[in-house]
Amino acid sequence: MYLFGASGHGKVVADIAIENGIEITAFIDHDVNKTECYGFPVIHNIIDKEKPLIITIGDNLARKKIAEKIANKVEKLIHPKSIISHTSKIGKGTVVMGGVTINADGFIGEHCIINTNSSIDHECHIEDFVHISPNVALAGNIYIGEGSHIGIGAAIIQNINIGKWCVIGAGAVILKDVPDYSVVVGNPGRIIKKIK
Ligand SMILES: CC(C)(COP(=O)(O)OP(=O)(O)OC[C@H]1O[C@@H](n2cnc3c(N)ncnc32)[C@H](O)[C@@H]1OP(=O)(O)O)[C@@H](O)C(=O)NCCC(=O)NCCS
């Protein structure tokens, strides 16, 4: 498997691949100064278009742009020490890290990052290219639009809709719906700006 993005996040994903017994051929990275990452070679172009790949870039928009360009088959990676309901669905290109719980009837889209120890309760619907940071707590029946980033340790109460391409600040507590492109911080969460 190729890991696209020789970064700290890439190293965490590499560990998950190794835990799953998947052989890592190389990292791919546009930075030609990088030649090695986490003991693996870094190459600068995709050599084998048949080889499965996962995009290991934390930035949601960058991940989307690369996903639109690549032709390789995209895999999902799930840490063996995560708890995922058999009724939940997880899209291709998504990585689920250690300690995550995804409860009943969850839907996680493509190319998402479900980061360490986050908790996603029943019937949450998470669109493509979302990043749920470490220790986020999502209550039941939450919708998160495409490309949104939920910051580390944020908490969102049940039945909330978060729009697309939002940023929820670290530690925020979200008690009401958040419109598209909003940056929200604090407890209770308040919009501090819009992303253009
Ligand atoms: C919300 C966030 C994106 C804002 O970043 P920014 O656009 O650079 O904003 P600034 O740092 O200029 O802060 C703007 C104001 O919001 C406040 N603020 C920023 N983040 C905040 C947070 N998480 N909680 C409370 N207030 C916050 C700042 O103190 C500042 O207040 P002021 O205007 O009174 O001085 C960022 O602070 C954040 O929380 N990012 C999440 C990072 C994360 O979770 N990473 C995990 C990766 S795995």
C-alpha dist (Å) from residue 178 to 36, 38, 63, 101, 166: 41, 38, 23, 24, 8
Residues lining ligand 1, Cβ inside 6 A: 115, 133-134, 151-152, 167, 169-171, 183, 185-186, 192
Q: Which residues of the chain have pLDDT under 50?
A: none
The CATH architecture of the domain made up of 78-187 is 3 Solenoid (2.160)
Closest approach atom of ligand 1 to CA 168: 1
Global confidence as pTM? 0.98
The CATH architecture of the domain made up of 2-67 is 3-Layer(aba) Sandwich (3.40)
Q: What pLDDT digit, counting tens, does each position of 131-153 carry? A: 999 999 999 999 999 999 999 99
Region(s) of the chain under CATH 2.160.10.10: 78-187
